[in-house]
């Protein structure tokens, strides 16, 4: 009986030493990208370079720009920006979109706007930050696209700070968005 037990244990050890067969992963998603941050390994990619409109993923670059201004001490979290009536109407409570409910003509700190941007994906926060830093959303979008280029996001172009759809709108790829996310995770 001891011989049989030893054989079973030996067989178990041999089987445990064999490499496990990876299961095939597939997705019905139009785009997919699975990345291991610890090993810096792409585990799965499906149409990772196909262009698409980034929508609210745009706010990741909006946040990256704000972090840059904070890092350069160009502003502090206590710096106040005015919520204009235009910003309030397009991105605040009347817009019926994601909002932090900043009041029209109120002064809101960069820190609170950044929190609204990151936690609520607040459009009023994104628009107020764009106006506060660059005077217009268009100028801020150009800054965002330039920063994307600096980071090597070669397939990315932004047209606004919110991700609102536009006829000649923003474009990116899953691969570029993953690169941006990795940059933000590692530097912030």
- The rounded distance, in Å, linking the Cα atoms of 28 and 71 is 40
pTM score: 0.84
pLDDT (mean) for 149-177:
95
Other residues' Cβ atoms within 10 Å of the Cβ of residue 4: 8
Tens-digit pLDDT profile for residues 82-114: 999 999 999 999 999 999 999 999 999 999 999
Other residues' Cβ atoms within 10 Å of the Cβ of residue 65: 20
CATH of segment(s) 55-187: 3.40.710.10
Tens-digit pLDDT profile for residues 115-158: 999 999 999 999 999 999 999 999 999 999 999 999 999 999 99
What would the two tokens of residue 92 be?
């605040």
CA angle, corner 49, sides to 145 and 57, nearest 5? 50
> Would you list the DSSP string of 111-156?
HHHHHHHHHH--HHHHHHHHHHHHSSHHHHHHHHHHHHHHTT-TT-
Element (H, E) at 42: strand 41-46
Chain centroid to CA 70: how far?
18
Q: Could you tell me the residue ranges of all domains in the chain?
A: 55-187
Range among 14-18, 44-48, 64-68 rated most confident: 64-68
CA dist 54 to 59, 102, 111, 164, 175, Å? 9, 24, 24, 9, 12
């Amino acid at each position: 009986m001891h011989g049989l037990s030893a054989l079973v244990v030996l067989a178990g050890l041999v089987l445990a030493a064999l490499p496990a067969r990876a299961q095939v992963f597939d997705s019905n998603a139009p785009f997919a990208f699975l990345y291991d941050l610890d090993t810096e390994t792409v585990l799965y990619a499906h149409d990772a370079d196909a262009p698409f409109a980034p929508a609210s993923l745009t706010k990741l670059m909006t946040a990256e720009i704000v972090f840059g201004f904070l890092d350069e001490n160009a502003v502090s979290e206590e710096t106040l920006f005015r919520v204009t009536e235009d910003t309030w109407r397009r991105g605040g409570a009347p817009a019926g979109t994601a909002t932090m409910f900043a009041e029209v003509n109120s002064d809101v700190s960069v820190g609170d706007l950044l929190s609204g941007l990151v936690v609520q994906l607040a459009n009023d926060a994104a628009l107020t930050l764009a106006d506060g830093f660059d005077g217009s959303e268009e100028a801020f979008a150009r800054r965002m696209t330039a920063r994307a280029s600096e980071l090597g996001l070669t397939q990315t172009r932004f047209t606004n700070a919110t991700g609102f759809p536009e006829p000649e709108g923003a474009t990116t790829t899953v691969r570029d968005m993953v690169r941006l996310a990795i940059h933000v995770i590692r530097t912030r």
